[in-house]
Amino acid sequence: MSTPKHIISLCPFCSGELRIGKLNCHSCETQIETSLAIPPFFRLPHELQEFVLVFLRCRGSIRDVEKELGISYPTVCKKLDLVNSLLNANQVQLNPREVLERVERGEITAAEAARILRGGV
């Protein structure tokens, strides 16, 4: 079984911002070359994308998310706060201390924190 592929938002070589450059139609084979920003949802760490999908599947019921993921109510709320802050990161700069505190509390991984601090939300 192959590993699922995920959109990345940072260059693996220089950590610069990646952009979408080519669109292909599978029906007529049209190709469009462009330069589009990666949508904010896909800039979230994969674990938070999965969390958002569970939240939506549970129709916003924090109690249902809590049960499905086996995490506490406050943890669900903290993850929601984190998603909101990351999705709004272009408008509000994240405080590095806050990011590190989230790692210490186990809300995000060190890899997620590094990505956030590099600006690759």
Q: Are the beta carbons of 43 and 113 closer than 8 angstroms? A: no
How far apart are the C-alpha atoms of 98 and 106, rounded to whole Å? Answer: 12
pLDDT value for 94: 63
pTM score above 0.75 = no
Q: What pLDDT, in 10s, does the model give residues 7-64?
A: 888 888 988 888 899 999 999 999 999 998 888 888 888 899 999 999 999 999 999 9
CA 92 to chain centre: 16
Per-domain boundaries in the chain: 38-117
Residue 117 has pLDDT above 80, yes or no: no
Helices 96-104 and 110-117 pack at an angle, to 10 degrees, of 170
pLDDT value for 92: 47
